[in-house]
Amino acid sequence: MTISIPTTVIIMVLGLIGIGIYALLTTRHLLKVIVALQLLVKGAMLALVLAGRLTGQEDLGQSLAITVIIADTIVAVIGMALAVQVRRVIGTLDLRSLTSLRR
Amino acid sequence: MAEPLILLTVGLPWLGALLCWAAGDRHPRLQHTLAVSFSVAAGIAALLLIPFGYERPLVTLPIGGAFGDFTFSPDGLGVFLAAVATVIGSLAVIFSVDYMRGEAQLGRYYAFVLFFIGAMVGLVLTTNLLLMFVFWEITALTSYALISFHNDDPKAVAGGIKALIITQFGGLGLLIGALVLFAHTGSYDILAVIANPGLLPAGALAWMAFGCLAAAAAKSAQFPFQTWLPDAMEAPTPISALIHAATMVNAGVYLLARFFPAFEGVPGWREAVMAVGMLSALLAAVMAIVATDLKRVLAYSTVSQLGYMVYAVGAGGVFAAQFHLLSHSVFKALLFLGAGAVIHSVGTRDMRQMGGLGKKMPFVRLVFVIGALALAGLPVLNGFWSKELILEAGLEHGNPLWMLIVMLVVSGLTAFYTFRMVWLVFYGQQRAELHAHEAGTAMKVALAPLAFGTLTTWLLAGSFSRLLSESLPAHPISAHSTGEILLEVLTAPVTLIAVLVIGLGLAAWWQRDRLTGFAPALAGIGKAAANSFGFEAVNRAVVVVMEDSAEKLRSTQTGMLSWNVASLLVALIVVLAILALGVGLP
């Protein structure tokens, strides 16, 4: 039995997104949230490349993927910078104690 | 050539807003200079745009895909309102240089004012109903932010929130209209539906028509939403002059006038519009008679005069409505800015404490009296001609006569409260120890052109009617020369009756001492008027319900990231399920 390349990629996409969402749902650590977001977005990026490939618009899919990489990097950098500040100001990275914005 | 001008008229104020904000509050002089120069530049661009009103070039900003292109088209209605917004906007900004001197957070103030001016221009120039809705809401948002500018004053904050909630409530009507239009035609193009209302089935058109009426009533503070405007008077006075007298509140009248050819045939729509206008004009005029706050009197008179315009649109007098809009913008901005000069000078808005201020502020008295005479509708000033045109329109097209009679009575009431206001502020004995001083230079620079405009804009009647009739083929407007229009007004029997009624209103004020016998009989009405005839309660109920439900929804904001992710996941599953079930896109 042979598995085609698109099927492999789809499995990878679903796997990455699944792991990302699972981690987002369960983790309570801010840095792990950032890691989980990275996994999630990488899955979405891969899906973009695949979609471009399957519809014959490879250039569009890949340029979108590059855009996502840039945006994602910025999110990660700012997220980590915020995490550092949160650790300094509040003294913890536990998400349960980060609800002070609510009121 | 028109394309860059349109983009400049919208873009210059927005650029100025950014720069004023970026300049920082440590450089107030720079902020004043930036605000004045950008608003004046926008005013010049808008005036240069007027000649293009005849050609109606279409400017398209492709934004790709779902919402249709953003299109702008300067036709008569659009360029005229854009000019009003930017020119009066720049005068209000110039006035602010004196009025807001020494205030903290000027960056926020000027940024919102300029943002508002740009949005107002966009609102009147766009031909995409969705984009119009976006601009519509931007003006509501900036209005809220400026009413609540003094955000340490609970009254100002409450007034701003009330204005925001009520105008948003009406804005839903416009959104419904836009969505109905899109659902049936697949585009948000306004011009198409105006040229051919048959594009939409009758039922859908009725939804759109009454949705737009609700939006217009909320925006223009018309019955039954009229109570937010008096509360909005907590705003700095140049804001009241610009947003709550000369421009934003006209957006409702603009919307009705713009869509008049499309909605004209909807059964009951014209009657409903006329009834809304008439009730607003009448109730607000009565409330103005008993109010003691100078700015509230002006606010009620704005509601009342907007009622005249709405009535005129319903009566089929689109030109009369727009001409009165022009007159009203000029003389009401003048009155508000004049009142601003008085308030800035004496530090109170209570007319019972004023009196005899005319001797200390002769210039302000002069311009204020000019504006007041125009508001009362006395001959030769611009308010006279436009108000008479409205009353004349009320006679045509088989409109109900009793409504016209009510409007005539209102013109008498207008004269009465206008003279009461002028007298309480500028004449008679000084009733309290107030330190008054004459207006500053920047204030005078802003007031003088408005006073000049009040004396002269009626001379534009001919060219204005030509502009509107040539650029709005679907509207029932015919071009006449200024002379023809003036002669028509002078020879109409309604004019004579109206002048008599206005004179009666004046006489009632002069003879007020002899009329005291009626006072007990009228006390009940006065009491009801002071409470806004109970509609204040209705409006407050809307606000309270909104705030309560928002407070209840707060519990859904857990602040826990995991919950947010879980709801994202649920939404994703719902979307996937809908796609899997095969609910195809059209």
CA distance B544 to B350: 28
If you average pLDDT over each of A68-82, B149-163, B209-223, B261-275, which comes out highest? A68-82
Instruction: For chain B, give every domain's residue range.
Output: 1-127, 128-530
Which residues from A are below 8 Å from B566, CB to CB? 25
CATH number of the domain that residue A16 is part of: 1.10.287.3510
- Residue A86 sits in which domain range? 5-95
If you measure CA to CA, which chain B residue comes closest to A29?
A: B561
Q: Smallest Cβ distance to B561: which of A33, A100, A102?
A: A33
- B522: closest CA among B325, B530, A50? B530
Query: Which residues on chain B place their C-beta less than 8 Å from a C-beta of chain A?
Result: 557-562, 565-566, 569
A19 touches chain B (CB under 8 A): no
- pLDDT at residue A100, rounded to an integer: 65
Number of structural domains (chain A) is 1
B369, B123 Cβ separation under 8 angstroms: no
Chain B within 8 Å of A33 (Cβ-Cβ)?
A: yes
Compare B484 and B20 and report the one with higher pLDDT: B20
Q: Is the pLDDT of residue B167 over 70?
A: yes
For residue B249, how many other CB atoms are within 10 A of its CB?
28
| Cβ-based contacts of A24 with chain B (< 8 Å) | 561-562, 565
HEC string of B215-246?
HHHHHCCCCCCCCHHHHHHHCCHHHHHHHHHH
Tell me how far apart the alpha carbons of residues B224 and B269 are, in angstroms, rounded to a whole number. 16
Nearest CA in chain A to B569: A21
Decide: B256 and B310 in contact? Cβ < 8 Å. yes
Q: How many CB atoms lie within 10 A of CB B562?
A: 16
Residue A103 falls inside a structural domain:
no
pLDDT at A101: 59
B461-482: average pLDDT: 79
Neighbour count for residue B545 (Cβ, 10 Å): 11
Q: Percent of chain B beyond pLDDT 90?
A: 4
Is A39 within a domain? yes
What sign has the CA pseudo-torsion A74, A75, A81, A84? negative
Please tell me whether the peptide bond between B224 and the residue prior to it is cis, using omega within 30 degrees of 0: yes
In this structure, are residues B213 and B152 in contact, taking their beta carbons and an 8 Å threshold? Answer: no
Which residues, other chains included, contact A92 with Cβ-Cβ below 8 Å and sequence gap of 6+? A86, A98
Q: What are the pLDDT digits (tens) for B50-79?
A: 888 777 778 887 776 666 778 888 888 888
Question: How many Å apart are CA B526 and CA B516, to the nearest integer?
Answer: 14
ipTM: 0.73
CA–CA gap between residue B224 and residue B535 (Å, rounded): 7
- Rounded mean pLDDT of chain B? 83
Option in B557, B562, B565 nearest A102 (CB) = B557
pLDDT (average), residues A54-80 = 90
Secondary structure class of B128 (helix, strand, coil): strand
Residues B234, B498: Cα–Cα separation, whole Å: 34
Confidence label for B473 from pLDDT (cuts 50, 70 and 90)? confident
The confidence score (pLDDT) of residue B586 equals 46
Q: Which residues in A lie closer than 8 A to residue B560 (C-beta atoms)?
A: 95-96, 99
Please, are residues B314 and B72 in contact by the beta-carbon 8 Å criterion?
Answer: no
Mean pLDDT of all residues in B214-236: 85
Confirm or reject contact between A64 and chain B (CB < 8 A).
no
Residues of A in contact with B559 (CB under 8 A): 98-102
Could you tell me if B191 and B127 are in contact, meaning their C-beta atoms sit under 8 angstroms apart?
yes
Question: CA-to-CA distance for B16 and B118, rounded, in angstroms?
Answer: 10
pLDDT tops 70 at residue B227: yes
Higher pLDDT, B529 or B302: B302
Report the distance separating Cα B172 and Cα B150, nearest Å.
28
One-letter amino acid at B385 equals W
pLDDT of residue A16: 93
